[in-house]
Amino acid sequence: MKIEKTLHSRIKKMDFNNIDFGNQYSDHMFCSEFKNGKWKNSIIKPFGNIMFSPTSLVFHYGQAVFEGMKAYKDQNEEVFLFRPEENFKRINRSAVRLEMPSIPENIFMNGLKQLINIDRDWIPKNYGQSLYIRPFLIATNGVLSANPSKDYMFMIISTPTDTYYKYPLKIKIEEKYSRSAPGGVGFTKAAGNYASSFYPTRLANEKGFDQILWTDSSTHTMIEESGTMNVFFYLKNKLITPKFNDNILSGITCKSILSLAEKEGFFVERRNVSVSEIIEGLQTGKLKEAFGCGTAAVINYFKTISYKGNDFDLPNLAEKKRISLYFKKRLLDIQHNRSEDPFGWRVPLKRYF
Ligand code: PLP
Ligand code: COI
């Protein structure tokens, strides 16, 4: 792989005490092109603008998929990735559904590891902070007919991060709009899934809600996920999460919490979750906690859930008593190499140079 290092690092301008997600990018980016049926020209180069024909399919028909993952430091500033093979598998599941070529494992993993190694100074040092990594695949072929592109670009960029949602969330159960539908692309990280959520989310924001709790598209009676998070409910002493299906992104954070919870003897249920049982749990006090989880979000608990114009507040538990914060610490401890890693999720990043 070709490596062109920047002569003008921007790291001195990075204020690690005031991290603003997605507003500062590390010095380098990785690019690999898919042309004439072959992957070629893999390169790490200075972060900068890219140029494509205005007819590129990504601009017109939204042939674009992405991933979100993180690199963490431990107290000795050794660097770890968290379950990167899961992101590799998921971007290719997304690519297949969007009729895009699969990314070979060596291109994904070498690009990722070498890029993060070169930009390791951009990984914040503090517990709870990390470098958010954004691999993405876009259609670059310039033919305006509505057919899959012939050419693609796979890229990786990264941005330092700490907390994505800064406070407990007020959530609205959606009854009109849908994020996804059976047979659709809800289970993928297709760029268009996010574009189509912006309008209903703005409407919800204007009414004072932080996020939407999506429900199934035909009946709006079954819970799916929220914003950029999978959701958990601590109901009648059971940790319950909607079972992954066509409509729900199979979150790596969610899967990790489930594995930890099962190993530690919590009662866990992965099943269809109805709006009515959640509302009943809120009314009877049997729903102790509800929270969302995801790579960017980590774990965020909900303070209010609103349904049909009624706001239901969740119990105002002490932080020490919150199952959400227990799992947040369990995950962060594993990610930052502060505890055993019983499932082998941490991938140490060797120093390549
Ligand atoms: N659901 C959606 C729609 C997301 O964008 C994300 C974030 O990636 C998640 C769930 C959580 O997935 P993960 O834990 O793999 O980041
Ligand atoms: C992630 O958590 O990786 C996401 O995809 C969130 C992102 C849309 C900001």
User: What is the distance in A from the centroid of ligand 2 to the CA of 296?
Assistant: 5
**Virtual CA dihedral for 214, 217, 223, 225, nearest 10 degrees?**
-40
Q: Give the pLDDT of residue 79.
A: 97
User: What is the distance in A from the centroid of ligand 1 to the CA of 235?
Assistant: 22
Please indicate whether residue 299, judged by its CB atom, sits closer than 6 Å to ligand 2.
no
Burial code (b: 16+ CB inside 10 Å, e: under 16) for 60-95 equals: ebbbbbbbbbbbbbbeeeebbbbbbebbbebbbebb
Is the Cα torsion angle 90, 94, 184, 215 positive or negative in sign?
Answer: positive
Q: Hunting for tokens 């297709």 — which residue is that?
A: 190
The series of mean pLDDT values per 10 residues for the chain, 353 residues long, is 97 92 94 98 98 95 98 97 98 98 98 97 96 98 91 98 87 97 97 98 98 98 97 97 97 98 97 98 97 96 98 97 97 98 95 60
> Structure tokens of 7?
């002569």
Q: Give the pLDDT of residue 164.
A: 80
Distances (CA, A) of 61 to 11, 36, 134, 193, 247: 36, 21, 21, 13, 21
* Closest among 303, 233, 299, 301 to 268, alpha carbons compared: 233
Q: Give the pLDDT of residue 243.
A: 97
Q: Give the pLDDT of residue 351.
A: 67
User: What is the distance in A from the centroid of ligand 1 to the CA of 52?
Assistant: 28
Please indicate whether residue 294, judged by its CB atom, sits closer than 6 Å to ligand 1.
yes
**To test ligand 1's pocket by mutation, which of 228, 246, 260, 332 has the most ligand atoms within 8 angstroms of CB?**
228
Q: Hunting for tokens 């209903």 — which residue is that?
A: 200
* Count of C-beta atoms within a 10 Å radius of residue 337: 18
Please indicate whether residue 296, judged by its CB atom, sits closer than 6 Å to ligand 2.
yes
How many residues would you count in the chain?
A: 353
Please indicate whether residue 227, judged by its CB atom, sits closer than 6 Å to ligand 1.
no
Interacting residues of 310 by C-beta distance below 8 A, sequence separation 6+:
none
Q: Give the pLDDT of residue 253.
A: 98
Q: How far apart are CA 306 and CA 183, in angstroms?
A: 28
User: What is the distance in A from the centroid of ligand 1 to the CA of 141?
Assistant: 28
Please indicate whether residue 252, judged by its CB atom, sits closer than 6 Å to ligand 1.
yes
* Count of C-beta atoms within a 10 Å radius of residue 43: 15
**Virtual CA dihedral for 219, 177, 258, 136, nearest 10 degrees?**
140
Q: How far apart are CA 143 and CA 55, in angstroms?
A: 6
Q: How far apart are CA 64 and CA 244, in angstroms?
A: 22
Please indicate whether residue 227, judged by its CB atom, sits closer than 6 Å to ligand 2.
no
Question: Taking each helix axis from N to C terminus, what angle separates 84-97 and 105-118, rounded to the nearest 10 degrees?
Answer: 130
Residue minimizing CA distance to atom 4 of ligand 1:
228
Q: Give the pLDDT of residue 350.
A: 81
Please indicate whether residue 295, judged by its CB atom, sits closer than 6 Å to ligand 2.
yes
Please indicate whether residue 281, judged by its CB atom, sits closer than 6 Å to ligand 2.
no
What is the set of domains in the chain, with CATH numbers?
2-161 (3.30.470.10), 169-335 (3.20.10.10)
Strand, helix or coil for residue 74: coil
Q: Count CA atoms closer than 13 A to 42's CA, side-chain side.
A: 15
* Closest among 324, 317, 311 to 283, alpha carbons compared: 311
Strand, helix or coil for residue 240: strand
Q: Give the pLDDT of residue 352.
A: 60
